[in-house]
Amino acid sequence: MKYILIFLFLLTVTALSQEIVVENLSQITDYNAGTLFYPQFTPDNKALILTSEAYAGLWIYDLNFNSLTMINNHLGSGYYPQFSADGLTVFFRTDTYKDNLKYSDLRSYSFVERKEQVLFPADRFVSQPLSVTNNEISYSKDTQVFIYQTQAKESVKRVSTLPLVLIENSNLMLQQNGEKRLFNPLGSGNYLWASISPDNSQVLFHLAGKGTFITDLSGNLLHQLGNAHAPHFSPNGRFVVYMMDKDDGQVVLESKLFVYSLASKTATELTLDNSLICMYPRWSPDGKQIAFNTSDGLIYIIDLKID
């Protein structure tokens, strides 16, 4: 894979709420690599894990060597995979169809052994990995949350000690203090793009037709972000990056990236290249970069300077 870190633009340095500054925009992949989507950084910030538009397959892009390696081509494996803390293992689900019904299993891939392992066999309504902590992978099947213990190599019906959010039939569920409960802080509706803040004290979510919000774990409304799509907390929990995409009911026409500051409660557009349709942004674990894909499947990284 040819190194294609290209500095495309002489960017005007843009101040974001006087707290964060866009320093540079780099194109990471080109069409020779195929179209790739939904980038996520590895825990060491040195690579991106990528997938196809329909979340089929996993690729790892090494940012030091600028090499792209395919890990698998399983359906669904690119849907929010999770890394172990040491970054040596990635956990994901894969989807298969039998009699047109969707079955999913839970798998791991070891970058050391270059080996894939089925952790939980294919079954109906198995979620993607919801969280990974201390060699324990939380996932759900139907309405039950399980933990797969990597050392014991078994799944147990037990809840994680850390708060966890998940979507069940459009409801926002919160698992906390050993108990899972209906959360829905703004009433019923279609909840999606839910996550827990890095300090485990807040819940970020989108409610279709209403907007994106942050509440505390009691459901008290703290922040209203507006029509913020695919939101993602910065690692320090001070910011949320999100996309604002517009369409005509058929195709996406425009998408811009914004950063919301929890301190100032204001959002500022990341001034990038107007010609790009920027989607699905994700912070790097060190908080210094944001990766995103364009509508046509190219991967970019934004370098940030944070006060």
What residues line the site for another protein (CB under 8 A)?
35, 37, 53-55, 75-76, 79, 95, 97, 99-102, 104, 124-125, 127, 167, 169-170, 189-193, 206, 208-210, 227, 229-230, 243, 245-254, 271, 274-275, 279, 295-296
The residue among 63 and 230 lying less far from another protein, judged by its C-beta, is 230
The residue among 152 and 252 lying less far from another protein, judged by its C-beta, is 252
Tell me how far, at minimum, the Cβ of 268 lies from another protein, in Å: 12
DSSP state of 126: B
The residue among 61 and 139 lying less far from another protein, judged by its C-beta, is 139
Q: Could you give the CA distance from residue 184 to residue 263 in angstroms, rounded to a whole number?
A: 25
The residue among 37 and 213 lying less far from another protein, judged by its C-beta, is 37
AA letter at 264: S
Tell me how far, at minimum, the Cβ of 123 lies from another protein, in Å: 12
- Secondary structure class of 164 (helix, strand, coil): strand
The residue among 63 and 145 lying less far from another protein, judged by its C-beta, is 145
Tell me how far, at minimum, the Cβ of 53 lies from another protein, in Å: 6
Tell me how far, at minimum, the Cβ of 251 lies from another protein, in Å: 5
The residue among 107 and 238 lying less far from another protein, judged by its C-beta, is 107
Q: Could you give the CA distance from residue 76 to residue 148 in angstroms, rounded to a whole number?
A: 19
Strand arrangement, sheet containing 202-207 = 191-196, 202-207, 211-216, 221-226
Tell me how far, at minimum, the Cβ of 64 lies from another protein, in Å: 29
Tell me how far, at minimum, the Cβ of 231 lies from another protein, in Å: 11
Q: Could you give the CA distance from residue 292 to residue 15 in angstroms, rounded to a whole number?
A: 20
Q: Could you give the CA distance from residue 285 to residue 154 in angstroms, rounded to a whole number?
A: 29
AA letter at 47: A
**Separation of CA 160 from chain center:** 20
Distances (CA, A) of 170 to 155, 178, 192, 203, 223: 25, 22, 7, 16, 21
Tell me how far, at minimum, the Cβ of 126 lies from another protein, in Å: 8
281 contacts: CB under 8 Å, gap ≥ 6: 230, 232, 241, 242, 243, 257, 290, 291, 292
Q: Which two tokens stand for residue 248?
A: 């005509």
The residue among 111 and 213 lying less far from another protein, judged by its C-beta, is 213
Tell me how far, at minimum, the Cβ of 166 lies from another protein, in Å: 9
List phi, psi (to 5°) of 50: -130, 165
**Separation of CA 118 from chain center:** 22
Q: What is the CA radius of gyration of the chain?
A: 19
The residue among 37 and 300 lying less far from another protein, judged by its C-beta, is 37
